[in-house]
Amino acid sequence: MCVPRATTGRLNEGDLKLLSSYQVLARKWRPATFSDVKGQDHIIKTIKNSILNNRIASAYLFSGTRGVGKTSVARLLAKALCCQNLKDAEPCNQCRSCIEISKSASIDVQEIDGASNTGVDSVREIRENIMYQPVSEKYRIYIIDEVHMLSTSAFNALLKTLEEPPAHGVFIFATTEPAKIPQTIISRCQSFDFKKLTVEAIKDTIKDITTKEGITATDDALYTIAREARGSLRDSLSALDQVISYSGNNFTKDDVKAVLGFVDKTVIFEIAKSIITNDPRTALSLNKKLFDEGYDVKKVVDGLVEVFKNLVFMKNGLEDLLGDALPDHEVNELKQMSQNASPADVEQWFYMAHNAAEETVRSSYSWTMLDVCLLSMCAKPNNDSISDLISKLNSCEKEPSKEQTAEKKSPHPQYPNNQSGMKY
């Protein structure tokens, strides 16, 4: 979106109109019905059934990483419990109750941020209020977000209400860190674990949204956004907002790359290939190129760690555990590049990449540090398999003099696991 600037430096009426008419995609496309919620079918099915059978719990706990639908489903559940024209457990979004809850304007449905109301006093107030009969709905509902932030005494106060809840009271707790919630609370809630969304599910959703918004985007652009969101639909929509404000209603993968500032996988693959083929010249020149283009060094090392992690899995016959984040063409490329490497080799490279990630983050000379780490990785690993070693031993026994003389002649000491002899 392009917002014209007022000459006075303050926003003029036109600016304000433009600003107020623009709603971020995540808010605009918040699911209005249960069937709009993606990737949480197991949860939606259970919740809808409990509504249909009128088996409403007095406390629900929604856990899961950010941007996977916890708040959205909490609001939908609140609407479904209050809606006056409920159909097949779906809220109508048209009655007074639905409209008020959608606008966060209902007296009986309160949303509280656990992170900023951590103390026992806030919970005591909730405890007292939930006892009153609802004003205009059937239920009095408290949605408490980031509930793990409550203090111990606040949890204790909450526990008392959960033990003897009023018939009209419903708590919906949401958290990104369920491990921090006392077991006593958890055991009184009906718990739901929200899953991260798959790359495919995110891609399909943002494709649908771009179409409805009249935006044209290439498939690989949407795929890239979906993959970078790491399971969070909200993150993908925020990224989509950013890309649209940069490139307008038409964008490609290059626009996405420019906006999100991530390093193209193909460059990371090229570096990994040069490591595997012991080609330091290529590795270092690619690294310099990334530096010149202003990339974040952390993203480069993160990329390398991921590539070698994937290779470790693949070389150990565990590629099915890598999940759907790895498209077929990447699997093929990884397979090809590691054809002549042993499982022990890729494992060693993984540890070296991991080490490089740690060192570069700590160092004030992060790119130089990465250069040296890459140089070290480009040296051929010294990982003989046990059978190789046995056959070598056997040949040693047969011709001891040859190997021994070679060793004596070597001017450089060798590190046990790193032929380069370089320590970092």
Which of these ranges, 67-75, 205-213, 250-258, 379-387, lies near Mg ion under the rule CB under 5 A? Answer: 67-75
Per CB under 5 A, 71 contacts Mg ion: yes
Least distance in Å: CB of 264 to ligand ADP?
Answer: 27
Least distance in Å: CB of 273 to ligand ADP?
Answer: 37
70 vs 196 by CB, closer to Mg ion = 70
Which of these ranges, 69-77, 339-347, 371-379, 399-407, lies near Mg ion under the rule CB under 5 A? Answer: 69-77
94 vs 404 by CB, closer to Zn ion = 94
Beta strands in 361-407 (DSSP E): none
Least distance in Å: CB of 71 to Mg ion?
Answer: 3
86 vs 275 by CB, closer to Zn ion = 86
- Would you say 170 and 58 are in contact if contact means Cβ atoms under 8 Å apart? yes
The residues that touch ligand ADP, with contacts defined as CB under 6 A, are 26-27, 29-31, 37-40, 64, 66-72, 174, 233-234, 237
Least distance in Å: CB of 232 to Mg ion?
Answer: 11
Looking at this protein, which amino acid is placed at residue 361?
A: V
- Would you say 307 and 326 are in contact if contact means Cβ atoms under 8 Å apart? no
| CA dihedral sign, ordered 277, 279, 283, 286 | negative
| Residue 367 neighbours by CB under 8 Å, 6+ apart | 287, 291, 297, 360
Q: First CA to last CA across the chain, in angstroms?
A: 48
Which of these ranges, 42-50, 70-78, 249-257, 351-359, lies near Mg ion under the rule CB under 5 A? Answer: 70-78
Least distance in Å: CB of 55 to ligand ADP?
Answer: 23
Is residue 165 packed enough to be buried (19+ CB in 10 Å), middle (13-18) or exposed (0-12)? middle
Rounded Cα distance, 75 and 374, in Å: 50
Start-end of H helices in 53-195: 70-82, 96-102, 120-131, 152-163, 183-186
Give the residue among 225, 279, 226 at the shortest CA–CA distance from 255: 225
Residue 72 binding partner per list Mg ion, ligand ADP, Zn ion, none, with a CB distance cut-off of 5 to 8 Å that depends on partner kind: ligand ADP
Task: Please state, as a whole number, how many other Cβ atoms lie within 10 Å of the Cβ of residue 51.
Answer: 20
For tokens 């249960």, name the residue. 34
Least distance in Å: CB of 17 to ligand ADP?
Answer: 24
150 vs 263 by CB, closer to ligand ADP = 150
Residue 181 binding partner per list ligand ADP, Zn ion, Mg ion, none, with a CB distance cut-off of 5 to 8 Å that depends on partner kind: none
40 vs 161 by CB, closer to ligand ADP = 40
Rounded Cα distance, 355 and 358, in Å: 5
Rounded Cα distance, 253 and 235, in Å: 17
Which of these ranges, 29-37, 65-73, 130-138, 386-394, lies near Mg ion under the rule CB under 5 A? Answer: 65-73
Least distance in Å: CB of 29 to ligand ADP?
Answer: 4
231 vs 381 by CB, closer to ligand ADP = 231
Residue 83 binding partner per list Zn ion, ligand ADP, Mg ion, none, with a CB distance cut-off of 5 to 8 Å that depends on partner kind: Zn ion
- Would you say 83 and 91 are in contact if contact means Cβ atoms under 8 Å apart? yes
